[in-house]
Chains A and B, each alone.
Chain A
Amino acid sequence: MNPLRKQRLYALIAVLIGSLLATWLVVSALSENMNLFYSPSEILEADIDENALIRAGGMVKQGSIEKSKDSLNVRFTVTDYQNELIINYEGILPDLFDENAGVVVRGNLKTDGSFKAIEVLAKHDENYMPPEVAKLIEVNE
Chain B
Amino acid sequence: MGSPPLFYRWSSKIMPWLGILAIIFLSVGLFWGLLIAPTDYKQGDVYRILYVHVPSAILGQSIFMFMAACGLINVVWRAKISGMILKSAAPIGMSFTLIALVTGSVWGKPTWGTWWVWDARLTSTLILFFIYAALIGLYSSIDDKTKADRAVSILSIVGLAIIPVIKKSVDWWQTLHQPSTFTLTSSPSMSPDMYQPLLLCVIGFYLIFAFTLTLNLRNEVIDRERSKNWVKQIFVN
Which residue numbers of A lie inside 8 Å of B, CB to CB? 5, 8-9, 12, 15-16, 19-20, 22-23, 27, 31, 34-37, 39, 57, 93-98, 101, 104, 119-135
Contacts and interface: CB of A to CB of B under 8 A. Distances in A.
B114 A121 contact: yes
B35 interface: no
Contacts of B118: 36
Given A12-B157, A19-B157, A34-B172, A121 B189 contact: no
Interface residues on B, range: 35 or more
B112 A35 contact: no
A110 B160 CA distance: 44
Interface in B138-196: 154, 157-162, 164-165, 172-176, 178-181, 189-191, 193-194
Nearest to B181: A126
A31 B40 CA distance: 34
B112 A96 contact: yes
Given A19-B157, A36-B175, A27 B165 contact: yes
A33 B110 CA distance: 27
Contacts of B154: 12, 15
Interface of B: 38-43, 47, 50, 72, 75-77, 110-114, 117-120, 154, 157-162, 164-165, 172-176, 178-181, 189-191, 193-194
Contact of A133 (B41, B110, B164, B179): B41
Contact of A12 (B76, B110, B112): B76
A46 to B, nearest CB: 15
Nearest to A128: B190
27 contacts: A5-B76, A8-B75, A8-B76, A9-B72, A9-B76, A15-B157, A16-B160, A22-B161, A27-B165, A37-B174, A94-B113, A96-B111, A101-B42, A119-B114, A122-B113, A123-B112, A124-B178, A126-B179, A126-B181, A128-B47, A128-B189, A129-B190, A129-B191, A130-B193, A130-B194, A132-B38, A134-B42
B43 A124 contact: yes
Contacts of B158: 15-16, 19
Given A124-B112, A128-B40, A133 B191 contact: yes
B171 to A, nearest CB: 11
B157 A129 contact: no
* 6 A-B pairs with least C-beta separation: A94-B113, A130-B38, A134-B41, A23-B161, A128-B190, A35-B174
- Residue among A104, A128, A130 with the most chain B CB within 10 A? A128
Contacts of A8: 75-76
